[in-house]
């Protein structure tokens, strides 16, 4: 059953008089712009300031609820602007809201710049991809990739080969030394025979 403005007014007034936050939250769940504006327009003047305080209290407690409460706040401030401007309590009530809005706007500008840059980057990537498809050129995959595991395996294999070569060279040198020792002995024997 769709809520009507008259039922919403009765619910809001009763919730404000009894201090029933559950009932007030139930009334604030309505997001139909027509129902919200009609409800706020029918709200008694005596309930305007308490209702504004209740809405602001919820916004300060959970800033994420601004999106759902913004329609109620906008309707309340625009419909009852003349009455609210005559209230001396209005400025202290709205100061935290001003601060919240300023904080959000402070983050919004850098965020907007970032979104713009991201969109520009995405557009460039999309145009490059489209151009490469039209030209029939290969995709812009990297020409070479680095595989750390493969590099380590290759280095280990090189080390093993180097050790095998080193062992073979040492063996050859030992053989050469043995040959030179034998040559020296032969020379000594020849010298002894010459002396005889």
The DSSP secondary structure of 74-122, one letter per residue, reads: HHHHHHTHHHHHT-TTHHHHHHHHHHHHHHHHHHHHHHHHHHHHHHHHH
Give start and end residues of each alpha helix (H) in the chain.
5-18, 21-28, 33-42, 45-61, 66-79, 81-85, 90-135, 148-195
> Do residues 5 and 32 lie in contact, with contact meaning Cβ atoms separated by under 8 Å?
no
Distance CA 171, CA 137 (A): 56
Cα R_g (the chain), whole angstroms: 44
Residue 139: the pLDDT is 57
Phi and psi angles of residue 30, each rounded to the nearest 5 degrees, phi first: -70, 130
Task: Please state the pTM of the whole predicted model.
Answer: 0.53
**Token pair of 75, please?**
């309707």
Please state, as a whole number, how many other Cβ atoms lie within 10 Å of the Cβ of residue 47: 16
Distance CA 17, CA 46 (A): 11
Quick check: 53 pLDDT over 80? yes
Phi and psi angles of residue 36, each rounded to the nearest 5 degrees, phi first: -60, -50
**Token pair of 189, please?**
């024997």
Residue 88: the pLDDT is 83
Least confident of 6-10, 64-68, 166-170: 166-170
Which residue would you say has higher pLDDT here, 139 or 50? 50
Which residues touch 94 (CB under 8 Å, ≥6 apart)? Answer: 56
Average pLDDT of the residues in 52-80:
84
Share of the chain above pLDDT 90, in %: 1
Quick check: 85 pLDDT over 60? yes
Least confident of 47-56, 140-149, 171-180: 171-180
Question: pLDDT grade, residue 113 (50/70/90)?
Answer: confident
Distance CA 183, CA 193 (A): 15
């Amino acid at each position: 059953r769709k809520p009507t403005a008259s039922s919403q007014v009765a619910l809001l007034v009763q919730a404000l008089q009894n201090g029933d936050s559950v009932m007030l939250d139930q009334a604030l769940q309505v997001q139909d712009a027509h129902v919200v504006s009609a409800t706020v327009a029918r709200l008694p003047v005596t309930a305007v300031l308490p209702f504004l305080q209740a809405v602001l209290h919820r916004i300060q407690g959970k800033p994420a609820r601004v999106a759902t409460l913004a329609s109620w706040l906008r309707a309340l401030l625009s419909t009852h602007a003349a009455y609210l401007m005559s209230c001396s309590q209005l400025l202290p009530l709205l100061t935290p809201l001003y601060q919240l809005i300023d904080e959000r706007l402070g983050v919004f500008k850098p965020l907007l710049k970032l979104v713009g840059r991201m969109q520009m980057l995405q557009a460039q990537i999309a145009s490059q991809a489209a151009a490469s498809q039209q030209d029939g050129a290969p995709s812009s995959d990297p020409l070479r990739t680095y595989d750390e595991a493969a590099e380590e395996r290759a280095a280990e294999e090189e080390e093993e080969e180097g050790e095998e070569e080193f062992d073979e060279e040492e063996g050859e040198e030992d053989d050469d030394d043995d040959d030179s020792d034998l040559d020296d002995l032969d020379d000594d024997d020849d010298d002894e025979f010459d002396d005889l």
